[in-house]
Structure 1
């Protein structure tokens, strides 16, 4: 942080030297660095959202619906249809300003001083920050060389650490790798008594990119009826093309959701946010029309990268991790100089590219060939 002339402030010791989170936001022709959906909402969706916001604007002198039960009911209906889940009701759903806030609610409720949250690296770079902000100890387990999770080894590490929360992204960010149902079930069974006092560990499956997964990988939502300590996080940022709306949500047993209600800030979801999300959910089919197309383009890009001798992680998301480069920053800068912004993240030597439009990906391929000669 820049130094300013100010009195000494009582900053928490664990924040000294920390920097705010943030990927570069640059004005370039091809933005492929933060896993956004490259297609804006269609005009008919924009019109419906605008009408809903106009209606909400007439009530902005009042606080919003604190429990947002109508939105939760709509989200329950969407998940039921999308994942063939059974028994999901309004009480099983929670929502907040992005899945980031959902995750923070989870750690405020189930983490804290003297407790541990665990994940398996490499994984989403915000997980340690949720731990830090909630004063929860962070522990990172390990993955296989191909970035998949060795479930038997993971269970052993969990039983050693006895965490109160385990965060597992599926598909994982930044690698794109996903868990299958058998793996999630095994982890759910093992975490039923792996908590710090012999009780359950809250197992969170972060499915921010779930709509992009390949066939044969059902959502962990289908297991919620069997495991009261399982929570499944989702977002409308990716498949719904609503990154700017900031709406993330979670499905879990009602008793788990009730504890999130305790730690949330008052009226944390604005009336405008609720109106936008509900309007978007009325257009699920239209908003997700390009998801299948993006999956095809992802798989084509994986093949193209591998044909050039690069190491590429299997991806069930709308992005690809690839490498390895002796100097990945040089490659990143070379692409940026040619108008293509991707992400310098993950293990050393690797880069991550989001899947964009056909034009975006053609520009990416051309720029990469120019920079690397292959």
Structure 2
């Protein structure tokens, strides 16, 4: 049978990392700790209550959830100015990003980002027939702000997307860089939105600020977050965004009706009510990350400076061989980033001990 698939999609494969049953699954930056039993019980009770009304559509505008998200950010990032009108949510931050591309991208429009970065960014652009343009980061994976500002003036994109901490490098973006991008975006005729993807923000080191602090000063700034990582809720699929009300209004136009199920809303609200319990291990993950970075450096590897729950390290003459050797020993990591580099998610102390011993064996 011949199908009229879009020519630009012909022969492509869907995005996705391996989902294998191994002793240490350290490839997709998941939180290695299961939710505490008390939180599981609270989520189960909330879902049970939601199930009683599943014959009805959920709250289309999920107002209570948006209020809870604003309250959480007021606690986590000390930004008490956010209201329901500033908040948006979807099925993972991937869908939030897709909504942004649907609302602001499209044929003849450009999105600018800085490589290496999250490998889904070009796919959002492809799916919305938006041109995707990248500039290289510096050798240490920081942003060349002067080059970025010049590129915004030349390319005149409708959106600039920067992950902070960046994936796969873990590099955080200083607020001065965010401000420079926003000021440059102000000069783009027709407007330009600066999107800071803070999926790993809760893992940043003490004193590293969030771009959320700049929202009152820049109406062309949006900050995306997720509950998948620090909340140990990857299976719950809840991502969200904080921005000016006009940005949220635009996203409401393109979202599918009732896109957040009653079960998803109930799960997310119950998790938010127990965020301290869910995030109790964040400090442990940070400490394990720092120990892992030090150990890799002691073995002679270059490790990208990271504020996330993963580390990018290398170089390897044959990274695929190292990846396969680790997998044979029950350790699954990720082949990503520049040629010769590998990324390892931070797991439990036991998982990281297995990673270290396996890496020593493979590279002996």
| Range of TM-score over shorter length | over 0.9
C-alpha separation in 1, matches of 2:315 and 2:39: 41
After superposition, give the CA deviation of every residue in 1:16-38 in whole Å (9 maximum; x if it has no partner): 12110000000101010000000
C-alpha separation in 2, matches of 1:200 and 1:79: 27
SS of match in other structure, 1:138: strand
C-alpha separation in 2, matches of 1:272 and 1:213: 30
Offset of residue 118 of structure 1: 1.0
C-alpha separation in 2, matches of 1:278 and 1:86: 19
Aligned partner (choices 12, 16, 21) of residue 10 of structure 2: 16
After superposition, give the CA deviation of every residue in 1:232-265 in whole Å (9 maximum; x if it has no partner): 0000000000000000000000011000000000
Offset of residue 311 of structure 1: 1.1
Aligned to 2:178: 184
Normalising by structure 1, we get a TM-score of 0.96
List runs of 5+ in structure 1 lacking aligned partners: 1-6
* C-alpha contact (below 8 Å) 1:37/1:356 kept by paired residues: yes
Aligned partner (choices 338, 350, 359) of residue 350 of structure 2: 359
Aligned to 1:218: 209
Aligned partner (choices 136, 139, 145) of residue 142 of structure 1: 136
Aligned to 2:31: 37
* C-alpha contact (below 8 Å) 2:54/2:262 kept by paired residues: yes
SS of match in other structure, 1:41: coil
Aligned partner (choices 343, 365, 369) of residue 334 of structure 2: 343
Aligned to 2:236: 245
* C-alpha contact (below 8 Å) 2:105/2:130 kept by paired residues: yes
Offset of residue 268 of structure 1: 0.1
Q: Counterparts in 2 of 1:115-154, with a 5 A limit? A: 115-154=109-148
**Length, aligned pairs only:** 364
Aligned to 1:28: 22
Aligned to 2:313: 322
C-alpha separation in 2, matches of 1:318 and 1:192: 33
Aligned to 1:81: 75
Aligned to 1:48: 42
SS of match in other structure, 1:365: helix
Offset of residue 356 of structure 1: 0.3
SS of match in other structure, 2:65: helix
Aligned partner (choices 290, 308, 329) of residue 299 of structure 2: 308
C-alpha separation in 1, matches of 2:195 and 2:7: 29
SS of match in other structure, 1:232: strand
Aligned to 2:266: 275
Offset of residue 309 of structure 1: 1.0
SS of match in other structure, 1:60: coil
C-alpha separation in 1, matches of 2:266 and 2:272: 10
Aligned to 2:288: 297
* C-alpha contact (below 8 Å) 1:86/1:222 kept by paired residues: no
Q: Counterparts in 2 of 1:168-179, with a 5 A limit? A: 168-179=162-173
Aligned partner (choices 222, 229, 243) of residue 231 of structure 1: 222
C-alpha separation in 2, matches of 1:334 and 1:73: 47
Deviating runs (4+, > 4 A) in structure 1? none
Offset of residue 292 of structure 1: 0.9
Aligned to 1:3: none
* C-alpha contact (below 8 Å) 1:120/1:141 kept by paired residues: yes
After superposition, give the CA deviation of every residue in 1:257-288 in whole Å (9 maximum; x if it has no partner): 00000000000000000000000001011111
